[in-house]
Homo-oligomer: A and B are copies of this chain.
Amino acid sequence: MKPVFRQTQLYTFLLYTNGKGLEKKILDLGAGGNLPPLAIFNDQGYETYGIDISDEQIQRAKEFEKKQGISLNIMKGDMTQLPFDNDAMPYIYSYNSIFHMSKKEIGEAIKEIHRVLSVGGLAFLNFPTINDAHATHGEKVGEGEYLQEEYGEKVLHSYFDIEEPEKLYFEGFEVIYKENRIRNGFMRDGTRVTRGFVDYILEKK
């Protein structure tokens, strides 16, 4: 039986990439982990590429790939310096990943996404919002930037106003889809919490 992915918003992105009809080639930024969602696109006949900053997360993805008998082409890399040519990728996404950087670094990464996307290509990005119960937790290190404990490590999280990403970052893109989500439910550890996210699908002009 096929695995069930937690990154359900990427099924929406898949509807948009299939509908767009460019070459079936996709890049995931922050692609590692034990359920790499590139497998959703691999299963639909896409040529997949991924980068991840963490050796451990890449190792977890490799174990998944081995078990499933697939290859997703995930390599080590930094999303502020993408190891790809200009206009090389019709589709790029970063799910639950890009906001683990400062707002300045996120801007650099989105400039890189713009550089590497083909004209007319699509990108999916999501950001946690000020509606999130954790939006001001932890040690404040900048406006909307907090160091938060995650699995025993201090990890940077950037939080955004609902209209802030388009104000800061989306020059040269058209926003073709935006969803502001406020979710109340249980975390994996059983505690109940309100999460706030905003998802975008962008088209490179």
Contact = CB atoms under 8 A, between A and B. Distances in A.
Question: What is the count of identical protomers in the complex?
Answer: 2
A181 B179 CA distance: 7
Given A1-B45, A4-B18, A18-B4, A182 B183 contact: no
Interface in A160-179: 175-179
Interface residues of A, number: 28
A9 interface: yes
Interface string A30-46: 00000000000001110
A75 interface: no
Interface string A41-60: 00111000000000000000
A5 interface: yes
B177 A185 contact: yes
Contact of A11 (B5, B182, B185): B5
A43 to B, nearest CB: 7
A18 B35 CA distance: 16
